[in-house]
Amino acid sequence: MLKILSGEQVKALDAAHVRVQQIQSLQLMERAALAFVSWWDSQDFDPSLPVSVFCGSGNNGGDGFAIARLLSRSGRQVSVFRCFGESASLSPDAAANLEALPSDVENLHWTEFDARSSGVLIDAFLGVGLKGALRQDAKEMVQAMNAFVGTRIAVDIPSGLPADGLLEGDCVKANTTVTFAFPKLSLLFPEHAFATGALVLADIGISDEEYSSFASPYFYLREKDIKGFHRSFHRFSHKGDFGKILLFAGSKGKMGAAVLCCKSALRTGSGLVTALIPEGERHVIQSSLPEGMCLFDLEGDLNRFDAIGLGPGIGVEDSAKMLADIFRRYSRPIVLDADAITVLGQNPDLLALIPEGSILTPHLAEFDRLLGKTENHPERLAKASAFCRQWRLNLLVKGANSVICLADGRQIFNSSGSQYMATAGAGDVLTGMLTSFLGQGYSPEQALVCGVYQHGLAGEIAGKSKRRGTIASDLVEAIPETYLRLNVS
Ligand SMILES: NC(=O)C1=CN([C@@H]2O[C@H](COP(=O)(O)OP(=O)(O)OC[C@H]3O[C@@H](n4cnc5c(N)ncnc54)[C@H](OP(=O)(O)O)[C@@H]3O)[C@@H](O)[C@H]2O)[C@@H](O)CC1
Ligand SMILES: [K+]
């Protein structure tokens, strides 16, 4: 997993990398510019469109000058707009790249920019070196960029956005942000979606090991990280090895939740799936899911199940007693979602009974029901961290870039997913996947990492062909393909 460092730590990371790799900082800047251009080349930009690059006097501006030079090689019309005065002192690498601009790149002052011009604007004005609130002249530059009618692409971070905290004022509103080495924390806050646009992570050759000496509770989960979290099974494995799980889901009128949850667990690989449902509804499971079994009361030793998932569609009316009973009689981690979380919010005394290491998966409204009204994402992350440490529980804050909050305080941002997953039942599918992984012998961290990433990947796969017509059943059907994509047997 990739560590997410603070804006302050970037300089030290750069310096360490330059030292270890025995390269010049200018070479690292060139790598950043090359990584940007490599992404650019993978896109479908019309080569006849002019490119305007706004460059500041720091290293973000230096990236911009280098990008302008590299883009001009393909023969397109490139202009740089200097966002600093005659007397400004440039960072040494920015000065070197300004010096290296070829003569066919037009070199202008930002006040000469015509916002009605067409083409693509590249924002390399301010990066992670921003300090405090934008100065007045910088505000005007940001406004000039935002008045532009074409596409805006931010280099590393939209200018004006602080790397780690909440925006208080103006910043560039980018259609796409190409961020270097690791995503800056603020790019992952939903409050900043309007400024970040699509997020592209550009590799500049810093290995994951080089982050080890930097402390941070935040991580970013990439496709290449997943395989290492999976257990492997051998050819003598039998259905008992793949887990016997119980899903308490569905009630009269909401039996779809139980079907989605159970089917998703089976598609994730569970050996045996039992649904705890009202007896009168048994035909729903038995006619739509021949592989599933039903249970109508909680008799017997619950520890005969390798994992238990609770909550989707169970209703909140009479569930508190039932949850307390399960918590008392089951000793391994449980997955708690939907109505189960609402019940916990109404009955906080139940929290102390939940088996250690259990997983709670609230969406934003459920989060507020559990932990009280929350104003913004940084506050949400802080509350989640305190909650997880206090109760020794894991919590998933669902949304774009869902955050896996672990009991030890680490917080892992997911990178997979698609906007087409905002559909009824998508959470029920995730509950099935997480419970399935726990039942297959995964630790809560492994289950969360694999489940959350693959759930998002299933959304990407389904969304590709079905767009906004994607429904939760499509996510279930896409789960097997996620194993193929990840090369997990
Ligand atoms: N590993 C990596 O990630 C790599 C990082 N790299 C790149 O380096 C970037 C960081 O560069 P950096 O540290 O030079 O700072 P940067 O963002 O250019 O800002 C400095 C400028 O901001 C200005 N300024 C500050 N506050 C202000 C305010 N309130 N209002 C107005 N202006 C304000 C300040 O002006 P001054 O105060 O000095 O007058 C100065 O001009 C990083 O984002 C990435 O793009 C790559 O090249 C290589 C690999
Ligand atoms: K920028």
Structure confidence at residue 235 as a pLDDT band (50, 70, 90): confident
pLDDT at 481 over 90: yes
pLDDT number for residue 234 = 80
pLDDT number for residue 232 = 84
| pLDDT tens, position by position, 302-323 | 999 999 999 999 999 889 999 9
**Whole-prediction pTM value?**
0.95
Ligand 1, atom 45, residue with closest C-alpha = 60
Q: Where are the domains of the chain?
A: 2-214, 227-486
pLDDT at 487 over 80: yes
Q: What does the pLDDT average to over 235-258?
A: 90
Tell me whether residue 119 is annotated as binding.
Answer: no
| pLDDT tens, position by position, 383-421 | 999 999 999 999 999 998 999 999 999 999 999 999 999
Residue 53 forms beta bridges with which residues? 80, 122
Tell me whether residue 131 is annotated as binding.
Answer: yes
pLDDT number for residue 237 = 77
Tell me whether residue 156 is annotated as binding.
Answer: yes
Q: What does the pLDDT average to over 376-385?
A: 97
| pLDDT tens, position by position, 71-126 | 999 999 999 999 999 999 999 999 999 999 999 999 999 999 999 988 999 999 99
**Helix 255-268 / helix 472-486 crossing angle, nearest 10 deg:** 10
pLDDT number for residue 230 = 95
Q: Calculate how far, in angstroms, residue 129's C-alpha sits from the geometric centre of ligand 2.
A: 10
Q: Judge if the beta carbon of residue 171 lies within 6 A of ligand 1.
A: no
Q: What does the pLDDT average to over 372-391?
A: 97
Ligand that comes closest to the CA of residue 138: 1
Rounded to the nearest 5°, which phi and psi values hold at 213? Answer: -85, 0
Q: Judge if the beta carbon of residue 160 lies within 6 A of ligand 1.
A: no
Q: Could you tell me the two tokens for 440?
A: 């297959």
Tell me whether residue 44 is annotated as binding.
Answer: no
CATH of domain 227-486: 3.40.1190.20
pLDDT at 342 over 80: yes
pLDDT at 450 over 90: yes
Q: Judge if the beta carbon of residue 370 lies within 6 A of ligand 1.
A: no
Ligand 1, atom 28, residue with closest C-alpha = 134
Quote the ipTM score. Answer: 0.98
Ligand that comes closest to the CA of residue 7: 1
pLDDT number for residue 114 = 93
Q: Calculate how far, in angstroms, residue 191's C-alpha sits from the geometric centre of ligand 2.
A: 18
Q: What does the pLDDT average to over 462-466?
A: 96
Class of domain 2-214: alpha beta
pLDDT number for residue 276 = 97
What is the distance between the alpha carbons of residues 124 and 160, in angstroms, rounded to a whole number? 11
pLDDT number for residue 233 = 83
Q: What integer best gives the mean pLDDT of the chain?
A: 95
Exposure string over 442-470, b if 16+ CB within 10 A, otherwise e: bebbbbbbbbbbbbbbbbbbbbeeeeeeb
Mutate to test the pocket of ligand 1, among 180, 182, 185, 210 (most ligand atoms within 8 A of CB): 180
Q: Judge if the beta carbon of residue 116 lies within 6 A of ligand 1.
A: no
What is the distance between the alpha carbons of residues 335 and 356, in angstroms, rounded to a whole number? 11
Q: Judge if the beta carbon of residue 131 lies within 6 A of ligand 1.
A: yes
Q: What does the pLDDT average to over 30-56?
A: 96
Q: Judge if the beta carbon of residue 36 lies within 6 A of ligand 1.
A: no
pLDDT number for residue 199 = 97
| pLDDT tens, position by position, 438-449 | 999 999 999 999
pLDDT number for residue 49 = 94
Side-chain-side CA neighbours of 75 within 13 Å: the count stands at: 3
What is the distance between the alpha carbons of residues 138 and 84, in angstroms, rounded to a whole number? 9
What Rg, from alpha-carbon coordinates, does the chain have?
25
Q: What does the pLDDT average to over 345-373?
A: 96
Q: Calculate how far, in angstroms, residue 327's C-alpha sits from the geometric centre of ligand 1.
A: 52
| pLDDT tens, position by position, 176-192 | 999 999 999 999 999 99
Structure confidence at residue 239 as a pLDDT band (50, 70, 90): confident
